[in-house]
Amino acid sequence: MAHFIAEVFHILFVLQLIGSYSVASQYVISDASGLGRRYDGIGGLSGGGATSRLLVNYPEPYLDQILDYLFKPNFGASLPILKVEIGGDSQSTDGTESSHMHSANDENYQRGYEWWLMKEAKKRNPSIKLYGLPWAFPGWIGNGQQSPYVNIDVTVDYIIKWIQGAKTHHNLTIDYIGIWNERKHNASYIKLLRATLDRKSLHHVQVVAADGKFRISYDILKDPALAKAVQVIGVHYPGTQVTNYTLETGKTIWASEDYSTNNNEVGAGCWARILNQNYVNGMMTSTISWNLIASYYDALPYTRDGLMTANEPWNSHYEVTDTIWITAHTTQFTDPGWMYLKHKSGVQHLDKGGSFVSMTDGVNLTIIIETMTHDHSKCIRPYLPPYNVAPQTAKFTLQGSFAKVSSLNVWYSKLTFSGQTSTMFAKKNPIKVVNGSFTLSLNPDEVYTLTTTERGYKGNYPTPPPSAPFPVPYSDNFDNYPEFSEASNFADQAGVWEIRESGDPTHKLVMEQVVLESPVYWCPAAESPISVIGNYSWQNANVSMDVKLGDNTGAFLAQRINHGGCKVVAATGLFFIVYSNGTFAVYSDIHRQFLLNSGQVDVKSGMWFKMQLLIQDNKATGFVQGKTLFTASLDPKTIPSHGFVAMGMPNYASAQFDNFDIISAS
């Protein structure tokens, strides 16, 4: 009997399976009862922090190619939004970015690479929207406190200057401005910012708040003046979900930072799923990827969490990852200003897993379908509850003004996870729409774009050079850079080094550390400026540099540095420090708690001297002006076995660095 029942259940199960293949689910695509929200575009975020650091040093033609894959319309990701960090002189995830005002009476709009990147993006796509957001602030903004809201007039003025500087110095129009990344917002500050933008004829700049959780929505509901000051509610990593009280505000809602997942196939799956479902579930009309491009050393935090990878400027290697083509599925067939169709009329979940969205410009129709399975589309955060995706047949019926559509162009991707190359962004034969409808067989981990537009192009360039390790020997006298730029391959983790005139004809241009006081942190970074370079797997190296110190400070040369990013506070390694008071010390940690050696050395502030650090056979030797100062055996319990080479300082003060050499390393 039991056997018989089992048999019946088995037959029923098989029938159900067959049914699931043969019975098409029905979906309506229609504008007959109106439209949904305005689509604002997909974005990439450069910075937060220093994520484009190694990009700017790529040689041509590779640099142009990479920028084309990101920004050129109808070519690659064709991004309609570029969000950048407003440099705050402090660590903001993978490094520091330079502020346009290191002090209250300092102002300069040639620093860093975000201006350059915005101009390159605009050059390719004049209608790309620009969005600026601070992570950290220079110390003077906080006036001794860890807050940008101590004197809100000062902070508003600082931000307005950045917006105006973009225009005056670079002819860049900033479209969106944020508050303080993932930190407290302050309603008085937001209102003053809005009022000042309006007073300075910057009405077009929209305020996005608060680049964090949904909390700002409560405040907006309670405070009509705040509601007026905020144009867009920007939330981070919403997991495609929105809260009711956020919807109640009636505001435009964005996932103003999202993704942050390694750009492998699962990352591409994550991106495909959230690009659709941030609207399907969350009514969010823009999704911005942290980050735009992984142009930071792999050993820094969040390895390759960008829409593509370019972190080997020394040999021009770069990788156009699947995430670029997932982006193209939306961006190449829509423009900001197109409207989503209404839920259940072109926007919804598929019955057997996955989702689709539809958008129109009033004439054309673009439908994007994704069927990403759970395990192949997990993002770094938040937790993704389990769900199933099965093969399914979907019948779509076009109604309203789309009833007359007779054919749809088809672009197709299938992500594979067993070592085979995925099919990405392939043009397929058009679908015939017969009597207003068509049927599609959908399988797991696919993306389709169906569109009446004739757009779509899979851009490509010859394969770039293969990956290669950081080159040794390595030598830089810093004389071939524009002033205020940053030297190739150095990745500042605390403090900021800019190329500056040394004022000394024998040294010409040098790297100068320019942050002179503790910043208003985004993450509590080290109180010691430090810039890393080279290969994280190096155990041995012979490195040297010339230094000129200001008063009451010092400079270090270090090896085997094991942490960057916000964890740079916990960095250990071998730190060889020479002080301007004529002493030296050797420590195994950035906080200078664990002293290994110390003594006298014949240097003083204002004089150039050469320091050298050799690690070989687990033994470190330090030299100044060619003279041996110490030899120390490296205890594997306190000194990491490998890590970056670094230069730095024990405090925020002024010093110049020149003639940096890595003579050997392995």
Ligand X SMILES: *[C@@H]1O[C@H](CO)[C@@H](O)[C@H](O)[C@H]1NC(C)=O
Binding site for ligand X (CB under 6 A): 149, 152, 171, 186, 188-189, 244, 363-364, 434-435, 452-455, 469-470, 535, 537, 542, 544, 579, 581, 583, 612, 614, 616, 663-664
**Catalytic, out of 97, 114, 257, 370:** 257
Helices and strands per DSSP (H, E), number in the chain: 11, 36
**Residue closer to ligand X, measured from CB, 357 or 545:** 545
* Nearest alpha carbon to residue 211 among 272, 281, 280, 286: 286
Query: Contact at 8 Å (CB) between 162 and 192?
Result: no
Q: How far apart are CA 226 and CA 192, in angstroms?
A: 10
Backbone angles phi, psi at 614, to 5 degrees: -115, 125
Structure tokens belonging to residue 488: 């190739």
**Residue closer to ligand X, measured from CB, 131 or 259:** 131
Q: Is 5 helix (H, G, I), strand (E, B) or coil?
A: helix
CB of 74 to ligand X, least distance (A): 10
CB of 666 to ligand X, least distance (A): 8
Q: Label residue 294 exposed, middle or buried (CB < 10 Å: 0-12, 13-18, 19+).
A: buried
Before 61, cis peptide (omega within 30)?
Answer: yes
Q: How far apart are CA 496 and CA 515, in angstroms?
A: 6
**Residue closer to ligand X, measured from CB, 98 or 311:** 311
CB of 416 to ligand X, least distance (A): 26
Place of tokens 């942190």: 521
Other Cβ atoms less than 10 A from the Cβ of 639: the count is 24
Give the 3-state DSSP-derived string for 151-207, with helices as H, strands as E and coil as C: CHHHHHHHHHHHHHHHHHHHCCCCCEECCCCCCCCCHHHHHHHHHHHHHCCCCCCEE
What strands, in cross-sheet order, belong to the sheet with 392-399?
A: 25-30, 392-399, 437-442
**Residue closer to ligand X, measured from CB, 62 or 189:** 189
CB of 376 to ligand X, least distance (A): 27
**Residue closer to ligand X, measured from CB, 331 or 612:** 612
Give the 3-state DSSP-derived string for 487-538, with helices as H, strands as E and coil as C: CCCCEEEECCEEEEECCCCCCCEEEEECCCCCCECCCCCCCCCEEEECCCCC
Angle of helix 62-71 relative to helix 114-124, nearest 10 degrees, comes to 70
Q: Label residue 146 exposed, middle or buried (CB < 10 Å: 0-12, 13-18, 19+).
A: middle
**Residue closer to ligand X, measured from CB, 78 or 612:** 612
Q: Which residue is nearest to ligand X (CB)?
A: 453
**Residue closer to ligand X, measured from CB, 244 or 420:** 244
**Residue closer to ligand X, measured from CB, 235 or 372:** 235
Q: Is 527 a catalytic site residue?
A: no
CB of 227 to ligand X, least distance (A): 17
Place of tokens 């000051």: 229
Q: How many CA atoms lie within 13 A of 209 on its CB side?
A: 29
> What secondary structure letter does DSSP report for 601?
-
CB of 2 to ligand X, least distance (A): 42
Q: How far apart are CA 656 and CA 166, in angstroms?
A: 29
CB of 537 to ligand X, least distance (A): 5
**Residue closer to ligand X, measured from CB, 10 or 169:** 169
**Catalytic, out of 107, 182, 319, 517:** 182
Q: Is 182 a catalytic site residue?
A: yes
Q: How far apart are CA 141 and CA 147, in angstroms?
A: 8
> What secondary structure letter does DSSP report for 59?
P
Length of the chain: 666
> What secondary structure letter does DSSP report for 580?
T
CB of 453 to ligand X, least distance (A): 3
Q: Any idea which residues carry the catalytic annotation?
A: 182, 257
